[in-house]
Chains A and B, each alone.
Chain A
């Protein structure tokens, strides 16, 4: 341990990719499969002013709960580390997605074809933020195998958005999803910068 006088030479770049999708779609499984550390879990505090208490001017009752988010780490090289963040995709967590998407390179939207609508909120969010993403269909056993174009149509995705099949439990398969995402980021013309000009999306309670 030594004293540092420069503010930039002691830490690598922290790159960030988001893993989104509906409840139970395999976000934690995906992060576990790809991360070099067992996925860690942290919590964000969620403070919600109770409805209809505005007039109590500051003494409004507040409900505080925590929301868990998983993250994993992949060391890329000496200069950069990739962090994967998985967070719940329900509407009431948009405030969290706002912070998470700041500075993120892109996102993976995991989809279970048995419950396609569960990913609508995540797709809408990333589209409206100009955050580039791909859709990864997590092929659960026994799930009907849709082909990618059926999924594209069902989700109303632009042709440019890649759709890949994966097994979130498998390191190679899940890592391939990340490779495909980065290729997409390199290929796709950059939309409006994702971390600027946040758009109101959904109900952020």
Chain B
């Protein structure tokens, strides 16, 4: 999961003027058909949808080969999160992608999660 060189190119420059393409990708839609959060997980099911995919859908599907998050797909595609969610939910709708909420036990007071987190972080010191 660690690569410091792989994703350099995904940095966005600060330049404005990014508003046209996202809207063509999602045909102006900003409301996904499947509810997704930035940290919802997505993964390709291996089911290839019939017919030809739009280029951005194809790229998104390629990025879901291993489980990843909506935020990471958005960053790698250089698309706003809202637009990425539309693309991914299209893929969910045709059965090509499976999505899951960020954490089945997303409870900020869950001690076992916090304790594991503490151990994991301390290992990095």
By a beta-carbon cutoff of 8 Å, the part of chain A in contact with chain B is 1-4, 7-8, 10-16, 34, 36-38, 40-45, 47, 64, 66, 68, 71, 73-77, 79-80, 82-83, 85, 99-100, 102-106, 132, 171-172, 175-176, 178-179, 182-183, 185-186, 190, 193-195
A172 vs B125: C-alpha distance when bound (angstroms): 5
Per-residue interface assignment for chain B, residues 76 to 99, with 1 indicating a CB less than 8 Å from any chain A CB and 0 otherwise = 100111111000000000000010
Known: A44-B81, A66-B80, A71-B75. A100 touches B43 (CB 8 A): no
A11 touches B120 (CB 8 A): no
Of A14, A68, A106, A194, which contacts B103 at CB under 8 A? A14
Q: Which residue of B lies closest to A173 (CB)?
A: B125
Known: A76-B117, A80-B116. A11 touches B100 (CB 8 A): yes
Other A-B pairs beyond A1-B44, A16-B39, A42-B71, 18, CB < 8 Å:
A15-B117, A36-B1, A38-B7, A38-B11, A40-B7, A40-B71, A41-B10, A42-B75, A42-B81, A43-B79, A68-B12, A71-B75, A76-B119, A103-B39, A103-B108, A171-B124, A182-B118, A194-B108
Q: Nearest chain B CB to A74's CB is how many angstroms away?
A: 7
Per-residue interface assignment for chain B, residues 28 to 58, with 1 indicating a CB less than 8 Å from any chain A CB and 0 otherwise = 0010000001111101111100000000000
Q: Nearest chain A CB to B64's CB is how many angstroms away?
A: 9
Known: A45-B30, A83-B71. A10 touches B2 (CB 8 A): no
Q: Does B59 contact A (CB under 8 A)?
A: no
Of A2, A8, A14, A37, which contacts B39 at CB under 8 A? A14
Highest count of chain B CB atoms <10 Å: which of A40, A64, A176: A40
Chain B interface size range: 35 or more
Known: A13-B113, A40-B71, A186-B115. A179 touches B81 (CB 8 A): no
Of A14, A175, A185, which contacts B108 at CB under 8 A? A185
- Give residues of chain B (104-123) contacting chain A, Cβ–Cβ below 8 Å: 104-106, 108-109, 111, 113-122
